[in-house]
Amino acid sequence: MSKQNNFTALTWAQFKEEILHSQNMMISLDSNDIQVFEEKGESAISVIEASSDDCSDKRFKIIGETLLEQYPKLIRKEQASELILMSIQYPASAPIGMEEMMYIQELIGTITSSSRDCQIKWGMGAREDNISRIVVAAR
């Protein structure tokens, strides 16, 4: 069976709703994070998502590479993000291992490398399906 990898752009309203109604989160984003994120208005917010049904220990490397291919098209270099919200989701049947955490760390380092004063808030939780997913909102 071939693995499915997907990339989509979400609206801020979709991501916000997901944050407010998320379950099974070990580390969660909440309404306070949303409030801080929206302080300068919603017009400067970009949201992107990449997912895969691959459950190997390389799944977050694949997802990270997919996000990084598209990230520069959505966030101009001169528009360095000052705040990023990131939601990391994995199947409950396939928890994240240490090697995968290194891929996530590399993704965060690459995204923030052009921003001097960038703050990242992130959440992580299990899903009931077989999809691994990262959603990034940048302002």
Residue 131 pLDDT greater than 90, yes or no: yes
pLDDT for 74 equals 66
* Ramachandran area for residue 41 (φ above 0: left; ψ -120 to 50: alpha; else beta): left
Token readout for 114 is 């052009």
DSSP state of 76: -
User: Confidence class of residue 77 from pLDDT cuts 50, 70 and 90?
Assistant: low
CA angle in degrees (0–180, nearest 5) for 125-30-117: 95
Q: How many helices (H) and strands (E) does the chain have?
A: 4, 6
Hey, how many other C-beta atoms are within 10 angstroms of the C-beta on 88? 23
Mean pLDDT of 124-138: 91
Task: Enter the pTM of the model.
Answer: 0.85
Strands 132-138 and 119-127: unpaired
pLDDT for 103 equals 94
DSSP state of 66: H
**H or E segment to which residue 5 belongs:** strand 5-10
User: Confidence class of residue 1 from pLDDT cuts 50, 70 and 90?
Assistant: very low
* Ramachandran area for residue 86 (φ above 0: left; ψ -120 to 50: alpha; else beta): beta
Token readout for 68 is 């990084």
Nearest to 137 by CA among 114, 125, 120, 124: 120
User: Confidence class of residue 119 from pLDDT cuts 50, 70 and 90?
Assistant: confident
CA dist 105 and 70 (Å) reads 18
Residue 81 pLDDT greater than 60, yes or no: yes
The share of the chain scoring above pLDDT 90, in percent, equals 34
Per-domain boundaries in the chain: 5-138
Mean pLDDT of 56-71: 90
- Architecture per CATH, 5-138: 2-Layer Sandwich (3.30)
pLDDT for 3 equals 66
